Amino acid sequence: MTNCLDNTTNDSHPDWVPEHARTYLAHVIMGVSIRELARLQGCHASTISRQVRKFETRRDDPLVDEALNDLSQNTHLETEPENDRMATIEPLTEADIARQARRILRRLCETGAYLLIAPQMEVAAVFRETIPDRPTRIAVVDRSFARAFALKEWISGEQLGKLGRYSITTTGRSALKRMIAEDQQSKDEVNTPFQEQHKEFGERVVKMYDGSGRQNVRFNFAESPLTLLARKKDKSGAMYLPPELLEAGERLPEDFEQAQLGPRVAQNWDRFLTNSSGGFNGGAECSGSSNARDRVSGALKALGPGLADVALRVCCFLEGMEKAEKRLGWSARSGKVVLKIALQRLADHYGITTAEQRRAS
């Protein structure tokens, strides 16, 4: 039935637009009657009417309203003569949205994470409180992708005002699990993406240090290896990682993801540091922000060999401590000690003052 609806709306909407949004735009923008839409979709007119009312209500969400306005404008442009059309931004594709969703939705799955966006900001940011009343930014994404996430009901607004605050929905969690499952489906035919959506774990691919190939790393959607380690207690009963060190550990993956660096950085990070352009030459390994690459470069220089290796493995590639120790050839339970030293050095690099330093001063 979707093809019939696409034909009715001049097939002007991108492939990622949900069917109910297409129905709403067909009725409100293109003027297609409720009865005609019901006939095309093979359902009762009351069903279409409910869909239209639902989307009209959802326009109270600024991101949904912006997304629908953009789609409405594109629909009008499709009906105008070629010479009268205004230049528009290249539309998003399903692949673009899925690529960003794998990154942003995963961070929103972490405990206490939320997305903030202001009316005039071109980007949205994901925050999480590692220190009480001091949120740490852990990811950023262009506003256009945040609109798409809202329209797909992957995120929903907890507070909508001058500063919109959004959290991941059940639909968003299921979509993330399906996307990660699809990445692995060619290797594991046992579970389908729709079966995988009910699991709380996913995998990402990490390139091996010795150049022997790539390895799947299993991780928890809701907790990163760093936050799991932070919950452990030391001999005195205090938290093994103070909030300030956890905050420092979150800063590195934020820049790392913005820089869109691949796993080869952990293998050849000395090349990354010495490259005058701030990253590997060409390819997807350095296709992100040059400013972010510079920040990563500065952090790795501050850490030095060994400390940089474990920080990248655990903080950026989400490897568990035991697996990171095996890959690095370290003895059991030594990795968390080295990681803590790396996080302390990162905190100094980022200018984050720890409680011990505040008491000493």
With respect to residue 16, please indicate whether it lies within any of the assigned structural domains.
Answer: yes
More confident residue, 91 or 308: 308
Shared domain check, 80 and 48: yes
pLDDT at 109 over 50: yes
Burial category of 331 from C-beta neighbours within 10 Å (exposed 0-12, middle 13-18, buried 19 and up): exposed
Fill in the amino acid letter for 40.
L
The percent of residues above 70 in pLDDT, for the chain, comes to: 70
- Which residues contact residue 245 at a Cβ distance below 8 angstroms, ignoring those fewer than 6 apart? 230, 340, 343, 344, 346, 347, 354
Domain count, the chain: 3
Given a cut of 60, whether residue 340 has pLDDT beyond it is yes
Q: What is the CATH number for 103?
A: 1.10.10
Kindly state the average pLDDT of the residues 71-99: 63
pLDDT in tens, 164-180: 999 999 999 999 988 88
Q: What is the pLDDT of residue 101?
A: 92
Question: Which of 141, 173, 205 delimits the end of a domain?
Answer: 173
Complete DSSP assignment for 59-127: TTSHHHHHHHHHHHHHHHHHHS-GGGPPP-PPPP-HHHHHHHHHHHHHHHTSTTEEEEE-TT-SEEEEE
Average pLDDT of span 273-300: 60
Do 232 and 350 fall into the same domain? yes
Domain check: are 163 and 275 in the same one? no
Over 90: is that where the pLDDT of 12 sits? no
Domain presence at residue 218: no
Residues 166 and 243 in one domain: no
Which residue range forms the structural domain that includes residue 58?
A: 2-84
The percent of residues above 90 in pLDDT, for the chain, comes to 20
pLDDT value at 194 more than 80:
no
Instruction: Indicate left, alpha or beta for 224 from its phi (over 0: left) and psi (-120 to 50: alpha).
Output: beta
Query: Of the spans 65-79, 88-102, 134-148, which averages the highest pLDDT?
Result: 134-148
Position 89 in a domain: no
Lowest mean pLDDT, pick from 32-41, 229-238, 271-280, 308-317: 271-280
Q: Which tokens is 203 given? A: 């995998």
Q: Where is the domain boundary, 17, 51, 84?
A: 84
Tokens at 92, concatenated: 């998003």
* 190 found inside a domain: no
Residue 180 lies in a domain: no
> Is 208 domain-assigned?
no
Mean pLDDT of 44-66: 90
Give a yes or no: residue 216 inside a domain: no
Instruction: DSSP letter for 219, please.
Output: E
The pLDDT score that the predictor gives to residue 110 is: 85
For residue 61, give the CATH number of its domain: 1.10.1750
Mean pLDDT of the chain: 76
User: Are residues 64 and 98 located together in one domain of the fold?
Assistant: no
239 shares a domain with 317: yes
Boundary-marking domain end, from 84, 105, 132:
84
- Weakest mean pLDDT among 97-106, 153-162, 351-360: 351-360
80 and 117 share a domain? no
Instruction: Mark whether 235 and 354 lie in a shared domain.
Output: yes
Q: Are both 161 and 279 inside the same structural domain?
A: no
26 and 133 part of one domain: no
- Residue 204: predicted pLDDT: 47
Please check whether residues 80 and 99 belong to one and the same domain: no
- Domain shared by 78 and 101, yes or no: no
In a domain, 254, yes or no: yes
